[in-house]
Chains A and B, each alone.
Chain A
Amino acid sequence: MMALLSALTPLNAVLLVPALAIPVLALVGNYRAGAIINVIACALTLAAGLSLLFAPRLRTDLLIIDDFNIYLVTLTTFVGFTTSVFSATYIAHEIEIGRLTPKYLRFYHAMYQAMMGSMNVALVANNTGLMWVGVEVATLSTVMMVGIYRTPEAIEAAWKYFILGSVGIALAFFGTILVYLAAQDVLGEGLPAMAWDALAANSAKFDARLLSLAFVFLLVGYGTKIGLAPFHAWLPDAHAEGPTPISAVLSGLLLNVALYALLRFKMVMAGNQATLDVGAVMMALGLVSLVFAGFMLYRRRDIKRMFAYSSIEHMGIATFAFGLGGPLANFAGLLHMTMHSLVKSAIFFAVGHIAQVKGTQRLADIGGLSVTHPVLAIGFALGVIAIAGMPPFGVFASEFMMVSSAFPRAPYATLVLVFGIVLSFGAMVLRMQEVLFGEPKGPRGPVKASYVPMFFHLALALVAGLWLPEPVVRWFRVVAAQLG
């Protein structure tokens, strides 16, 4: 018994709790019980994730906890938990109107835990291959959930996501093999040649041409998962057609995990001076995504699709910051990832409530929310203001830091960055006005769901915009230095 308890380190718990919850949830027939178990499992994972902060750092050949992934694990388990709370009320409504049946919900909850567990695997893996497996399983489980409504639109979205995601991770795998080949000369055969810390420490001795070739495949592969234009085609469909809790975790977490994977490889590249300039490539892709998404935002007629494009935009901004590099820009990028994750999931919570009370996702059929549902309108407005980059929320802080650090170093690129940010700001404010004001449309029934997750996320984003806790600043500084 003692041996069993001592094996239950926070790190193991982060991986084991979801793994154990999958079969339980697959067997529980009652959807209410399933939703409660889902919340409890997520709460336990969150507790494990938080206790990880106080546990000693460690590394093995397969798992690692360092300054970079520790905060992402905490963020992932936290957003996973709040989304599970949101999901519990959301699905109760879906059952009521008959869009989902209890049988599908069993499947849904099991897949939810599969996704949480595999994202944690991807985050704590110290092995390039294990991380790849984590991303793959997370992709598969979200594919299943995107298609769960079984409408033609949902099936199209799931199939598209499936094929594009599979090709993306296949290409990423080829890149992973190439990195191993580059490392094998120096580190020898076997596990150490796939371990992050060993790769990053020794990359100066690797063959630069092989590394460069590998990074191209990794960038296209994981870039597809990040949703960078022009590899983004799956993203708006998957966000719009799946259940809203899944849109929230897709945007808030899975995109971050894919970006994390790419950044780990960038750390390896940063140690070798002779490789191609990955920063410039990432900056270009980031700006293309930002400006492209900024224009696309104006033409959206579906509220979830619109915020999906907003995710592409923000991932583009973060990628630009990491591409620029340097302590300040990297710091801004890390902050931006975190803030986007919190705010965008809050927005999707709000959008989920709106779509349920109004019975539609079409922007044209949603209006006068400030009259019909004032509290919901305030939450939605705060979310949109935050994501558009207005002070005092955290997104403003990260974007301001980014622009001010980028101007002296890359003035023209920064002009494009500012143009993109302003462009999407305009679209956001325009759409927000349509939703909030004007002729009240649609049903006025009360929202039978909790606003707590949404306002909690927004409060955190607000606090982060005003004051960042000391340990967070320290982690970000250390990681920003490692990213080069």
Chain B
Amino acid sequence: MSPLAFDIAHLLAGGMLVLSFLLLYQDRITAVLNVFALQAIALSLSVAWQAVVQDAPHLIVTALIALVVKGLIIPGALHRIVRRLEIHREVEQVIGGGPTMLTGLGLVALSILLVQPVKQDVGILTREDLAFALAVILLGLLMMITRRNAVTQIVGFMSLENGLVLAATGARGMPLVVEFSVAFSILVAFIVFGVFLFRIRERFDSVDVGALDRFRGERRDQR
């Protein structure tokens, strides 16, 4: 592989990681959605580049799915939800921005340490891509943990899922990748519509999932 191809792949995967960090400290929901859309676009570029480098045209389909579904449709739908439910104010965080960023740095270091000693013989691109993907996955998990709002939790999950797609497309010649990205899109669509479907707002007057914890453990009142 030419050094240029390698550098471009690195740049795009690294871009996704940086956007993951940006997601961590946004304190407005609309900003969170915009950064997520950017990350999805970075993902689709990265997948498209993998399609060129690996000479695997079917990956273009995955790239298009990422671009259209996660870059355009889902952020658009979430913007609508946010506007309709009037929750475009601040995002409540369980842990403040500073400690979250530090934890995030720790997670990136962890993923590099985990992946680096593995597979000396495999292409260096695969290995580094794997480290980036694992970091994006862990940061997505961190975002789900540190936010209390249902919409930002969804974004955290989707960002986690971006990392998964990055890993799957980075694994050379992995079969059924396109099918997996479709399966994941279904999952994500389910989650987004779940907010509507489960009518979290109407039932609880809030999309703060803390409101869901009212009777954690045991039913207090008789039905």
Contact = CB atoms under 8 A, between A and B. Distances in A.
Partners in one complex: yes
Interface of A: 127, 129-130, 132-133, 136-137, 140, 143, 147, 151-153, 155-156, 158-160, 162-163, 166-167, 170-171, 173-174, 177-178, 180-182, 184-185, 189-191, 193-194, 207, 209-210, 213, 240, 300-302, 305, 360-362, 365
Interface of B: 114-115, 117-119, 121-122, 126, 130, 133-134, 137, 141, 144, 150, 153, 157, 160-161, 163-164, 167-168, 171-176, 179-180, 183, 186-187, 190-191, 194, 197-200, 203-204, 209, 212-215, 218-219, 222-223
A155 B172 contact: no
Contacts of A166: 157, 187, 191
Contact of B219 (A163, A182, A302): A302
A159 B194 contact: yes
Contacts of B175: 127, 129, 190-191, 193-194
A155 B150 CA distance: 13
A170 B160 contact: yes
21 contacts: A129-B176, A140-B187, A152-B214, A155-B212, A156-B212, A156-B213, A158-B198, A159-B150, A166-B191, A170-B137, A170-B160, A171-B137, A174-B164, A184-B122, A184-B174, A185-B122, A189-B174, A207-B118, A210-B118, A213-B114, A302-B219
B198 A155 contact: yes
Given A129-B180, A133-B180, 9 more contacts: A152-B214, A153-B219, A156-B213, A167-B144, A184-B171, A190-B175, A213-B115, A301-B218, A365-B222
A152 B203 contact: yes
Contacts of B200: 155, 159
B220 to A, nearest CB: 10
B138 to A, nearest CB: 10
B215 A153 contact: yes
Contacts of B197: 147
A152 B187 contact: no
Residue picked from A158, A178, A362, most chain B C-beta under 10 Å: A178
Contacts of A193: 175
B176 A159 contact: no
B218 A185 contact: no
B223 A151 contact: yes
B212 A159 contact: yes
Nearest to B172: A189
Residue picked from B114, B133, B141, B218, most chain A C-beta under 10 Å: B218
B171 A181 contact: yes
Contacts of A130: 176
B187 A174 contact: no
Contacts of A163: 144, 153, 157, 191
Contact of A174 (B153, B167, B219, B223): B167
B75 to A, nearest CB: 19
A151 B203 CA distance: 9
B179 A133 contact: yes
B118 A209 contact: yes
A101 B204 CA distance: 23
Given A133-B183, A167-B141, A184 B134 contact: no
A194 B175 CA distance: 8
Contacts of A156: 212-215
A173 B164 CA distance: 8
B209 A159 contact: yes
7 residue pairs, one from A and one from B, having the closest CB atoms: A189-B173, A156-B212, A155-B198, A209-B118, A210-B118, A129-B176, A191-B175
Contacts of B117: 209
A353 B168 CA distance: 47
Contacts of A190: 173, 175
Nearest to A212: B118
A130 B183 CA distance: 11
Contact of A177 (B121, B161, B168, B219): B168
A147 B161 contact: no
A158 B200 CA distance: 11
A184 B173 contact: yes
A209 to B, nearest CB: 5
Contacts of B121: 185, 207
A193 B222 CA distance: 53
Contacts of B133: 174
Contacts of A143: 190
